[in-house]
Structures are given as structure tokens and as C-alpha cells.
Structure 1
Amino acid sequence: MPFFTSLFSIIYRLKIYRCLILFICWSNAVQAQLWNGNLGAPVLNITFGAGPSQPLASDATSFTYTNGCPSEGQYAIEHQLPGCFGDTWTILVGDYTHDFEGHYMLVNGGAHSGTVLVQKVDGLCGNTTYQFAAFITNVLRETACGGTPALPNITFSVEATDGTILESYNTGDLPITVARYWTEYGVCYTTPPVPMPIVLRIKNNATGSCGCAFVMDNVSLKPAGPGITLTLDGKQIQQIDLCSGYKDPLLLEANYTTGFIDPAMHWQQSTDGGRTWLDIPGANTPTYLIPRRNQGIIAYRFWMAQQINLGIASCTINSDMIVTNVHPGPDQLPLQPLPACLNSELVLRSRSGFQHYEWKGPNGYQSSQPMPVIKDINYSDQGLYTLLASDDVGCTALDSFLLTVYPGAAIATNPVYTICEGTTVHLAASGEGNFAWTPAAYLSDTNIGNPFSTPPDSIQYQVVLTNMYGCKDSALVNINILKKAVVSAGADHFILAGDTVLLNGSVKGTDVHYLWTSTGAVAVDQVIQPRVAPLVETSYTLSASATTGCGDASSTTTVHVYKDIFLPGAFSPNADGLNDVYHVIPPDSYPLTYFAIFNRQGKKVFSTANPNIGWDGNFQGTPQAPGTYVYYLEMKRGNGKKIIRKGSIVLVR
């Protein structure tokens, strides 16, 4: 019989077993009396919930429930509070698990000693150690209570139902920290062979008249047992990523410390991230060889219990889990043909989703680029190319490409055609294969080498030749249009003798020369808009000739010369459509500045500066009497001098 087993038997017979197991608990403690082995699922787990705040049962605490910041002797169940009491408490947002909606218990102890939380627990396993613990943090700042706050001081105790203290632990004064710092405190307790109900109590020990404020969360009672360390293929890891077809054996091994006299054990697996666990049939030894699979995420853990407590969750401890993630990996593609044309440029294209690339090909070709470029392809470049691509977890795909080099297409064409406006050009492109012209505008056919085009203006075409292997060559063809000569001498003009007028000539076309000539051998300045001063009616001709050979053109205008301004002597506003309105129509370049008509009494009956408006024989809507009227006229010459005319007109009805 092993020494430890013999010793335990002797101690058990002497009924001092609790001392030994508690000694193991204490000797393993790293903070307070917390167990440093493994723990099982909680028998008791108080998280204070989420959602609408609810008070504890009236017999669960001696403190009074309130909402918001509690006064001395009160507690609150909250999930978000600002710094209470003038920001002398820390800001409290979220619970111990960093859930912003999760609740915590906030206690203002002050000078009130008493039970913060008490809970009766029954149904425990015999000869089993349990850890009673909670996460607690001081919420006071140094400015609380006028700068001299009493520090929280808390006792955890495990009691019999008659109040006998079975185990206890005092935290001592909890220090003030810069920010909220959750710390787990607790005590270990080992049940006798025949367990009895116990009472778990957390007590506030008032140490002053002001202060002792703290927040608490995740109060739990968990079975405790040996420390369990899991390895996968001899390595302590939390997760491993593998690729389909992996070669590793994936051997799980559980190493555990002493603590269970007659331990039962089993491996479990979870396919939902650890929410639910299932025992693996037959996996009840410290080692387990994971079956091979092609994909999927499965977590594994190891549980232990005393053989006598087998199947009771409240007596079982669990290891941490190891997650295995088998990635399916990319599909293997068949050999892919890769046609290329001689002297062209080829981009080797890879599949997406990879981080590393390794290309290899003929003549020692290598590249680590995802899409390398082979320039000026020659027949010596053809052959087998392979791509070994790997993703972020090391899964690889080996793709292969067979490069075949084909003769390239060669097109020949005249790149520039120059034609006169309105004429047709016969384009010509040659080569072996099929032609395609773009754009299609003004072409007789877009799929032959020699179409006709009659564009109204200069245009550029692209012609593409595709040979029997799919290789292409292209060329640009420009058609430059030479514009015909187009001239205009302008409209006829009317002037008074001795005045000048500007001829409104215009010339359009490509490389056009022009010339003004006149009747009567009158000299004309050779500018496009000359100023002339004929003494008699004279015609002027503007001639133009395109030096490109794209045609000649001419246009004639006449300047009519009058000795004076003509004004009609009478008009008859009788609505017969003849001479109903008296108008002044001045010659060209003689703007009307003022025109007025007066009756025989000298009263003005009409005036205007608009040559398009005439007198209709009325004054303020009343027809005027027949008879003689006097007019006054002002116009301007081209040099700015006034022309004034006076006279009489007769109104006839």
C-alpha cells in the first residue's frame, strides 16, 4: 500500500482527516485560501443577474436594499453608477466579467458590521473539498470620508447550521487602488464522509465610522480537487490550428496531482465552444488519442471525481480545455492550361485567401509575388509552372499551370489619312485573322480589313486583329478632315453719302486664303472686316481658296448710298393695313437717339428712341385730328456726330 494511502487510512480512523485535506488546501493557496488545483462546476453561483435590478431575499443579508448610491448600512444591485458621493467612489460600469449589463452588489458598510450575504447549501459530497469564494474590490478613493476612510474588512466563513464556524478567512483591510481592481477571496472547506448542510456567510467588519464600501460579484461554491495539467503531443497549449490531412498524432495527456484516493476520470468533448460537454465513450484513462478528421472545431477537457462520487456533478472537477481547429484547406485544382502569345506579357494569377506564395517554372523561374508578370514571352518560357500557396494557419495548396506559347498576331495599316470634308476614304489593314474596328461610327463594315469611312470631322479608330490562336495585335488609325472654304461677305448696308461702314466678312476652312474686290475698281483693305466709304452704290466680293485643294468660295454684299434720310410726307391710320403707323427707318450704323411729333399747338403727341416703334395717330388713347404735324429727328453717325432733321407730316383719315 502506498505511503500516502496508508497515512490517510490511519488519519481517517483517528477522525482527523479534515486537518490533512485543509492543510493541502492551505499549502496550495496563492492568495487568501483559494485552491490552486482544479475546480468543478459551481454548486452555488450568485452573479446578481442582469436586466431590471432585484433585491436579495430578506433573510440573505442584514443590509437594506436601495437604488443608486447606497447610504451607510445599505446595498444596491446595479450595473452602472458614476462616482458616488461627489466622485469620492470609483466609477462602476459593468460586472466582474466586463459585461456592461451585468449586475454587481455594491455595499456601503460604514460603521455597520453585519452579514453581507448568507446562503444555506445542502447536497454536498462526502470527503470532498469545496472552495467558497467571491470577487471583491474596494470602491473608495483617497478623498472619501474627508480623506480618512475606513477600509473594507471582510470575513468568509463556512458554518454549521447551528452557527458553529467550520472554516473562515479574513481578507484584512482591502487597500485603495487607482482603479477598480477585482480580486478573488475565499476559503476552502472539506466535508466529512457523511456531509451535513452548511451555511456560507460573507460578513462586513466595520473598522470605523465612515468608509468600508466595496463591490462584490460572482459568489461561488465549487468542488476542488487535484491540479490537472493537459498537454497535446507533449505541449501545454490552449488551442491548435491544423490543416486537413495533418500528420500530428494529437495525443491528449492529463497530468494531475494527488488528492483523490480512488479517482474516477473521463475525457469530454464540446462542439459549441464549451457550452455543452459530452463524455467520450471509453475515454477513461489519462491519455486520449484524438481521432483524425478533415475539418471542424472540437474542444476537449478532462474531469475527475472520487470513485464513490462518480456521476455527481457537485463532486466533479474539470481541467481547462484545449481547442482543436482543423481547417478544411483549399481544394486541389486540376492542371490548368495557360495559353500565351509570343512577345506578349502574361500575368500569373493565384487564388485569393493566401498569405504566402512560391512560384516555380522553367529555366529556374521563381517568384514570391501573388501575381507575378512574365514580360516578352518567348518559346523558351513555355512549360509547367507550379504555385505553392499557404494561408495564415499554414494550410497549403499546390496548383499547376501548363504554359503554351503561340505565334502572335501581326497587323499592318496606314496610321494616318488626310481627306477633304465630305469625301470618303478607303481604309486598309492587313494580317492573318479576324478584324474588329471601333468605334463603328461612319464605317461601312467593322469586321473587314478595308472598310470605307465618311466622317464629318476628324476621328480616331482602333483596329484589332485576332489570329487563330486567340493572339491579338492592334493599331490606331487617324482620319484628319480638311475643312472646305466657307465665306460670307455679310448683309447689305445703307449709308449716307460721305459716311463709312464696316463690312462684316467671315472665312472658315483649313488653310484658306481670302481676297476682297469691288465694282468700279474701288480699293479695299485686305482684312476680314474692312471699313469702306463708297460715294455711290458699290458691291464688294469676298473670295476664298483652300490651299489644301478642298475648294473655293465667294460671297458678295452691296453698300447702298443715299444723299439724305427719307421720311414719308403722310400716313393714314385707318386700320386698312396700309400706312397705318408712321415709322422712321434709319440707315445702317445710324442709331436713332430721339424722334418726336408735335401738333399745331406745339404739344408733343409722340416720342421714341426705338426705330421699331412708330406713331399710330393716337395720343393717350385718343385719335388725333387730321392735319399737319411737325416732327423732330436725331440720329448719330458712325463718327459720333449728330444728324438732326425737322419737317412736317400729314395725318389723313
Structure 2
Amino acid sequence: MIFVSRSLWSVVFIMFFAFAKAQLGFCSGESGDIIFSEDFGAGTTNGPALPTTVTNYTYVNSAPEDGQYTISNNMGQLGSFWNRPDHTGNSNGRMLIVNAAFNAGIFYQTSIPGLCENTPYEFSAWVFNVYNPNSNACPGVGIPIQVRFQIWDATDTVLLADGTMNPRGGETNPTWIQYGLTFTSEPGQNECILKLINAGDGGCGNDLAIDDIQFRPCGDAINVVSNGSEETIVCEEDLPVSVTLDATTTTNVFSSAEYQWQSSTDNGANFTDIPGANGASHTTQLLNADTQFRVKIAEDAVNLSNSQCVNFSDIYTFEVDEVSTPVALDDSVTSCDGEEVELAVQPVNGVIFNWYDAPTAGNLLVSDQETFTSSTPGFYYVEARTTAANCISNNRVEIEIVAARAPDIPREEIFICSGETARLEVPVSPATYEWDNGAMTQAIEVDTAGTYECIVTTPEGCETIAVFEVIVTPVPEIQELRLIGEEELEIITVSQNPDFEYSIDGINFQESNHFDVNNLLEINAFVRNSRGCDTVTDNLFRVKVNLFFSPNEDGFNDRWSISGLENFPGSRIEIFDRYGKLLRVLNNPEVEGWNGTFNNEPLPSSDYWFKLYYADQEISGHFTLKR
């Protein structure tokens, strides 16, 4: 073994690094579709082994040693290997895992069919250093990996491209790195040979994984423009039009490019060649509809018919900017009581709307708005305008603001008696109704005091709220009949209420509870509420009847009389026994009484009846004589 000093090895390394870097590279133009790909499949088992025509390394099912390889989804074949997924990223994706031999040499070789003659291509592959320096299985970072990539012609006699990667020792944060070569296929050949060569030393380290070997055609990047723009947008009213398209390349991959223009009328799903359109520029026929154009470019005209041999430009779009008459959300909108309302049209992508006060010309009221707000009745007009080509709709849509008034419904108070129901009816029809209790009818019936509201909506859409106040009238209760002096009566109720009415004959009622009761022997008081729900009564005698007497000449209560008759001069009393026999008449009852005799004979203990007459009034009752 030959030992090289550190300084000499560094010089050799740097010189080799510079050489390798100069040889590797990717397509400087536009890479086409993949024509060859090897990702080594996927699966949970290892293998299968490669054909012996592809490699002279020995296949092992696991743990490859120097000069051996395996194909697996598990990178960690040895304890000193990193355990990382393949580059492709598919589930259980496999990769080629190689433990390089002691001697440099080819470890992978395969033919790549399906090439186009005299066409530039790009080769690429992803490489991973599988040695984990943290394992300390090798000194330092181990022996670096170094792969040399070669592309040979179909006869394996002409080297088309050659490049060697920089040496890579074991890494503490390893990643997949892509390497590439560009080459041009030979005239008359449609195949090449790929060779992957171990350019490093054998020993501890130099362990690698390969994945996603790919070949793509390489051509010039092409731009298609017309008047400097990558699309043309025209209004319908400007049709038909013709455009001139110019293809320019931004790279110099092809030495002499050949062109073929294509067009599509199905939004780019299918393209067809335009006969005779083979120059760097193309003037279209008169166009009336959306059309897409592209150009394909190749090194050799014979390759223009093969999609794997050409590069395609980006698609150039000729678009007819159609604009329709705006669609109003409502043909008319009602303004209730002068309120502001919003007019609106359906939004359309790429279209703005302008509002006018006339069907043509007129004054611009507001621009670039889908809505317009006003309270002024009348007609308003909306025009559509595209943002792409500023195309204007042929017609404007008309929307009207209609003036209307919401119904004026005064607040209503409804009095009911206890236990009764009240009918609440909205005095507006036709309309829709929404009561706060959920009812949807014009009228409802309630039996509970409170405030009831109904949202009333007219056919024009104007709303108002009808409010009803239901009041249950209280039942009066007489507390006292109070005489004020000798001629005035005050009727006192338990609660004072302005709805109470008062009477002393049950016929004539008044709001005042004071009455002149002069000359009334008996007072009958009546109280009711003003709604006539309930009437209560009470009575009061202005004279006091002695309910019993004992004529035993003891000086106490020896005579029966009615006190208070001095206020009723001319009154008269008749006294009867229980059978109706008249026993005595007192013509001056205010000064005389009855001693309990009839024809000067004492009458027995019993109940006796009386009638008191005064003017047109009569009071009757009974009292008791006790012996």
C-alpha cells in the first residue's frame, strides 16, 4: 500500500474536485418528460438481484460486504449504516445499496433505449453516503464515496459524457444529492449506455445508495409572445382578429433549432400541428373563439414528430373576453318611508359593475361596485365591464326603487274583566303577521294582562310593529259607607282606581264617590268598574232601629223606638205582630215610642214587625220584646 502525505493528498483531492465539478451539470435549457426511470421498485422484501449484464458485483439479501450489493427499502443493512428511506418517497421504496469493492471499476451498467437521434439529453441520479460516522466503525469519516458517471453511444465506442462526483466522507447529517450529465445522442442512433463506476478506494467506508436514475430530453427554453405579451384578450365586438406569435429561446442548447407550431380549441387538452407553420414566427388565421398556441422545437426536423424528442413552449392563449348583461338580484326594491335600500347584481369573476341613471349614456353614479345604495325612487341601470380587456356589456340591466309607506298602527289599550278574553286584531290587511307569541294570524285571543306585539309586513315589504296593551280591570270592594255631616255620603273602596264608578240607586253612576243623601232613610251604595265588569253593593240606614226592648218599668229600655227620626219630620211608624195584626201607629215617632201594650194590655215576649214611612220611602224590619 502506498501512503501519501496529507499535503500531497490535499493537492490531489483539490485538483480532482475541480475536474469533476467541471464535468457534471444539468440541462441549461428546458428538461422534457422523463423517458427512462429506475427507482428499483418497492416492497418489504429485498431484491430481486440485477441481471449480470448490469453489474458484476455480488447480490446478497442483506448486510453487503465489499464488492456486494442489495436492493432494499432498508438502508441500515449494517450497524454502521444510516437507516433512511429511499429518495423516491413511495411506501416501502427500494434503493440500490452498494458496498464498494477494493478495486475501482463499474458497479452498474445498463442500456437506455428510446432516444432520438442527434438530440441533447440530461442524465441524473441521486446518491447517498450510507456510512454513519457516529458508529465509529471506521477511522474519522471513513473512506469517501466517489462515483464516476459515463454515457457511451450504442456501440460502446464513443464516450458522450463523463463526470465524477466530489469525494464524500461519512456525514453527521446526510442527505440525498442529485448528480447529472448532459450529452447529445449520435446521428442515426436511438440508444446509449449508462455506466456507474466506483472511483474511490476500497476498505472501511465507501458505502453508498443510488436511487431515481432518470433520462430526459434537454432543449432550449422557449417563450411565445405577441407584441411582448404572453396572451391576447379581445372583446367580442372586435372579432375576428389575427395575431402574430414570436418564439424566442432563452438558452443555446440547440445549435440550429427546428420549429412546429400547434393550436388547440379545447383549452389545451389536445394540440394539432398547423401545416406550414415552421418558423420562429407565426401569423394566425382570423380567430373568432378561444384558442391556445404552442411551438415545439427540436435539434433536427426529423424529431419534430416524436414528442420524446422535442421541447414545448409554454402555452400562448388567445381569449375572447365575453361579457353578459348584468343579472339583478331583484328587479325592484322597495324603499319604506324614505329609507336607504341596496340594489345589487350577481357577482362575476373578472367583471366590475358601473351604475348609471340612464339606459344609455347618462351620469355615472358609482363605479366598480356590485351594489348601489339610495333612497330616491326611480330607475337605475347597471353596466358590466371586464377587467381583462375592458369589454363592456351590450345592454344595461334596469333596477327600480319603489317608494312605499309602512302602515301607521297606533298603540291600543284593551280592558277586559277578570276571566274574560280579549281579541287583538291588527287593523291592516293584506299583510303577513308575526306575533311575539309565535302566532302568524291577523288576530289572536288572550286572557292575560300584558303588552303584546306583532310585526306587520305589507306586500311591499314594509314593516311596522302593532302594540296592544291588555289591562284586566280590578273588581272593586267597598270598605266603608261614611256619612259626612247629615247630608253627604262618601263611598270608600279598599283600593282607589280611576276606572271605578259610583251610584246610590244602581242606575245612575258617576265618577265621584260623594253623594247628597238628604232625606234618604236607607242608602244603597253601588260600585263598579267603568267597563261594567262587576258591581258590588252595600247599604246604610240613616236611622237606628232598637232591635229589642224590655218594658218592665225599671227605667232602662222600657220603650221601643227608632232614633234619628228628628232628621225626618213627618215620618210614621206602624207596628205589627207576627201575624200582621196592626198593634200601634206612631205619628210622631221622633218623640214617642211604643211601650209594648195593645189596648193597654201588655203583650207577651215575641218578635214584632214595623214599617217606617217617610215621604215616598218605606223601611221595614223586626225587633224583639222581652219580658
Asked whether the two chains share a fold, i.e. TM above 0.5, the reply is yes
Residue 61 (structure 1) aligns with: 55
Alignment of 1:456-605 (within 5 A): 456=448, 458=450, 460-462=452-454, 464=456, 466=458, 470-482=460-472, 551=534
Following superposition, the deviation at residue 460 of structure 1 comes to 1.7
Change (3 A) 1:108 1:231: same
* Contact residue 33 and residue 188 of structure 1 kept, 8 A: no
Q: 1:148 aligns with which of 133, 138, 141?
A: 141
**Cα-to-partner distance string for 1:607-642 (whole Å, 9 max, x where unaligned):** xxxxxxxxxxxxxxxxxxxxxxxxxxxxxxxxxxxx
Larger Rg: 2
1:13 is matched with which residue? none
Give per-residue Cα distances to partners, 1:257-313, cap 9 Å, x unaligned: 7776775431346799999765344432223456757568x5734132424556456
**Any idea what SS the aligned residue of 2:366 has?**
strand
For residues 149 and 252 of structure 1, the distance between their equivalents in structure 2, rounded to whole angstroms, comes to 58
Of 406, 410, 434, the residue aligned with 2:407 is 410
| Matched residue, 2:175 | 180
Give 5+ residue unaligned stretches, structure 2.
1-20, 358-362, 478-494, 498-526, 538-627
**Are 1:344 and 2:339 counterparts?**
yes
| Cα offset, 1:153, TM superposition | 0.8
Unaligned runs of 5+ in 1: 1-28, 488-508, 512-543, 555-653
Letter in structure 2 aligned against 1:120: S
Query: Quick one: distance in 1 between partners of 2:29 and 2:91?
Result: 31
Equivalent residue, structure 1, for 2:224: 231
User: What is the alpha-carbon distance in structure 1 between the residues aligned to residue 384 and residue 345 of structure 2?
Assistant: 10
Equivalent residues in 2 for 1:358-397 (5 A)?
A: 360-361=355-356, 365-366=365-366, 371=371, 373-374=373-374, 377-379=375-377, 382-386=378-382, 388=384
For residues 299-353 of structure 1, give each alpha carbon's deviation from its aligned partner in whole angstroms, at most 9, with x where no partner exists.
7341324245564566x33134336495986743367732322413423334246
Q: String of CA shifts for 1:53-102, please: whole Å, max 9, x gaps.
A: 75333432234456688665454545x6577766963732551xxx5349
| Equivalent residues of 1:359, 1:368 under 8 A apart | yes
Tell me if the contact between 2:40 and 2:94 (Cα under 8 Å) persists in the aligned partners.
yes
Residue in structure 1 matched with residue 111 of structure 2 by the alignment: 120
Residues 452, 467 of structure 2: 8 Å contact kept: yes
Distance 1:178 1:393 in 2: 54
2:127 aligned residue: 136
1:36 to 2:28 alignment: yes
| Cα distance in 2 between the residues matched to 1:364 and 1:196 | 68
Instruction: Provide the residue aligned with 1:537 in structure 2.
Output: none
Correspondence list, 1:265-414, <5 A: 265-268=259-262, 278-288=272-282, 292=287, 300-307=294-301, 311=305, 316-322=309-315, 324=317, 331-333=324-326, 337-341=331-335, 342-352=337-347, 354=349, 360-361=355-356, 365-366=365-366, 371=371, 373-374=373-374, 377-379=375-377, 382-386=378-382, 388=384, 400-414=397-411
Whether the aligned pair in 1 keeps the contact of 2:96 and 2:210 (CA below 8 Å) is yes
Which residue type is aligned with residue 360 of structure 1? W
Identify the residue that residue 38 of structure 2 maps to in structure 1.
Answer: 46
Are residues 157 and 64 of structure 1, via their aligned partners in 2, closer, same or farther at CA, if it must alter by over 3 Å?
same
SS in 2 for 1:475: strand
1:425-458 per-residue CA deviation (whole Å, 9 max, x = no partner) reads 4657556x62444449999x955xxx68454554
Q: State how far apart, in whole Å, the 2-side matches of 1:394 and 1:75 are.
A: 66
Contact 2:223 2:248 in 1 (8 A): yes
Instruction: Give yes or no for contact 2:415–2:531 (8 Å, CA) kept in 1.
Output: no
Over the residues paired in the alignment, what is the CA RMSD in angstroms?
Answer: 5.3
1:200 partnered with 2:198: no
Asked if the contact 1:129–1:223 (Cα under 8 Å) also holds between the matched residues in 2, the reply is yes
Q: 2:353 touches 2:367 (CA, 8 Å); kept in 1?
A: yes
Q: What is the CA–CA distance in structure 2 between the aligned matches of 1:271 and 1:317, rounded to whole Å?
A: 22
| CA distance 1:441–1:44, shift in 2 (3 Å) | closer
Distance in 1, Cα, partners of 2:370 & 2:264: 38
2:467 match: secondary structure: strand
Cα distance in 1, alignment partners of residues 306 and 96 from structure 2? 34
1:236 and 1:136, CA in 2 relative to 1: closer, same or farther beyond 3 A?
Answer: farther
Question: Is contact 1:161–1:199 with CA below 8 Å preserved after alignment?
Answer: yes
Q: Please state how far the C-alpha of 1:195 moved relative to its aligned partner.
A: 4.5
> How many percent of aligned residue pairs carry the same amino acid?
20
Distance in 2 between residues matched to 1:349 and 1:414, nearest whole Å: 36
Letter in 1 for 2:223: L
Q: Is the 8 A contact 2:416 2:472 kept in 1?
A: yes
How many Å separate the matches in 1 of 2:387 and 2:80?
A: 51
- How far apart, in 2, do the equivalents of 1:249 and 1:67 lie? 66
SS state of the match for residue 466, structure 2? Answer: strand
Report the residue type matching 1:117 in the other structure.
Y
Q: 8 Å contact 2:87–2:212 — kept in the other structure?
A: no
| 8 Å CA contact retained: 2:100, 2:198 | no
What SS is found at the alignment partner of 1:413? coil
CA distance in 2, matches of 1:273, 1:104: 39
Describe the SS at the equivalent of 1:143. helix
Tell whether the 8 Å contact from 1:438 to 1:446 is kept in structure 2 after alignment.
yes
Q: Which amino acid aligns with 1:434?
A: P
Offset at 1:201? 1.0
Letter aligned with residue 205 of structure 1: A
Superposition pairs for residues 431-470 of structure 1, below 5 Å? Answer: 434-439=430-435, 446=441, 453-456=445-448, 458=450, 460-462=452-454, 464=456, 466=458, 470=460
TM-score by length of 1: 0.54
- Cα–Cα, structure 1 residues 485 and 64, in superposed 2: closer, same or farther, change >3 Å? farther
Contact 2:436–2:454 under 8 Å retained in 1:
no
Which whole-Å CA distance do the structure 1 matches of 2:172 and 2:23 have between them? 18
Shift of 1:155: 1.1
Which residue matches 2:487? Answer: none
| 1:91 counterpart letter in structure 2 | R
SS in 1 for 2:331: strand
Q: Deviations over 1:20-69 (max 9, x none)?
A: xxxxxxxxx98715442455555544343456775333432234456688
The 8 Å contact of residues 244 and 283 in structure 2, kept in 1 or not, is answered as: yes
Q: 1:441 to 1:151 in 2, by over 3 A?
A: closer
Deviations 1:463-499 (A, max 9, x none): 62636xx252422222424276699xxxxxxxxxxxx
